[in-house]
Amino acid sequence: MRIIILPALNGDCILVEFQTSHYILIDGGYVDTYENYLLPTLKEIEAQGCKLDVVVVTHIDSDHISGIIRLLEDMPIGIGEIWYNGYRHIQSVAVTTEEKETFAHRNICKESQSEECKPISAKQGCTLSALIARNGIPWNTQGKGNAIMAPMSFTLGDAIIHVLSPNNEDIGALESFWKKRLIKDGLLKKAHSEEYWDDAYEFSLSKDMPGFHFHEKKVSKSYDLLKLCKEVYEPDGSASNGSSISFVLETKGKRLLFLGDSHAETVAASLRALYGEEKAPYIFDAVKLSHHGSYNNNSPELFKLIVSDKWLVSTNGDKYNHPDMPALAHIITKGKGMKIYFNYDLPICKELSDGLYHKDFDFEIITPEGESGIQIEI
């Protein structure tokens, strides 16, 4: 099994070869991520006569979705199915007309541009939902056309997928956020569920994302990792992050945990329900940290539930200075032989190479040798 964490700036773009010549793509980073790193890799896969078995779009955020939009515009490779919870999947009632779609575009949709990347057109028909439909890609088939959400388990070839998040409460929080946004903009007089506007939904949430992320937290600088583990944990309150698809992938005796940007509380509850409280902690062969290693999404409670010697971090550290040192401290202090893989060589990697951090703990920081991200063999 092979995991490739591509350079996606402060975002995610992860390709998993879960069985020989079978692939899952988790998010697409920014447009430059797609053009410079993902596209060449996909062309190699396509030349071998293979396709992407599944594309997982964890949630609506420009650092996860922009490259996927460009992928679906180009379609350089076959896609077996896509998992993405659009607005149509969080509405209890969904009815729309061409007039309402036009109104939504005129009043909500803005030009969306990823950082340091080419702009993505906001014209109708270029959003993710429209592109999925236009290309005829099977959409949320594992959920029978409904939302991909916990608790849900299904097979993918010889593999088994267990969805951990979002749950009903997370989906409800995102629906509530969206309706409040429409009311705030004067587009609705009261909350209701008569319309869905996929395009407006995507672009509005992507545009507003920084407004409801957590505020960067200052933590003490200390060589005492046990002291760092005692830093106060503050849960992420972002409705969009809460809607992130996270899952367990089990195949050939291996068990991987991909956490997207999900909330730690939802993941912890789902793991207990899936495997049983009495069997905790749960062993994984690799864990992709939630929200780029944010301490707001990787709680002390969650770390206590997970045993692994391989931890994956996807970020260049922009915007919120991820990953957070307390989150890394919880990993390093879990036991001997901890390995933390980064897709960028960050200042924090150099910081942790200081011998004083290794005085009492046995761990390894692994960074890319080149500029094409990092590969992990499981």
CA 112 to chain centre: 20
Angle at 269 between CA 268 and CA 272, to 5 degrees: 85
Question: Residue 82 — very low, low, confident or very high, per pLDDT cuts 50/70/90?
Answer: very high
pLDDT per position as a tens digit, 297-332: 999 999 999 999 999 999 999 878 899 999 999 999
The residue-averaged pLDDT of 99-115 equals 47
In this prediction, residue 349 carries a pLDDT of 96
pLDDT per position as a tens digit, 122-148: 333 347 887 898 899 999 999 998 899
What percent of the chain has pLDDT above 70? 78
Closest among 344, 248, 337 to 287, alpha carbons compared: 248
- Residue 118: partners with Cβ closer than 8 Å, 6 or more residues away: 31, 32
d(CA 148, CA 154): 11
Strands (E), 259-321: 282-283, 286-288, 306-307, 310-313
The residue-averaged pLDDT of 171-177 equals 82
The helix or strand, by DSSP H or E, that contains position 53, with its residue range, turns out to be strand 52-56
Model confidence at 92: pLDDT above 50 = no
Poorest-confidence range of 150-164, 187-201, 243-257? 187-201
The residue-averaged pLDDT of 107-131 equals 47
Strand partners, 341: 312, 366
In this prediction, residue 58 carries a pLDDT of 95
Model confidence at 186: pLDDT above 70 = no
| Cβ contact 104:200 at 8 Å | yes
In this prediction, residue 195 carries a pLDDT of 38
Model confidence at 110: pLDDT above 90 = no
Closest among 174, 147, 183, 186 to 163, alpha carbons compared: 147
Token digits of residue 256: 């991987």
Task: Answer whether 0.85 is exceeded by the pTM.
Answer: yes
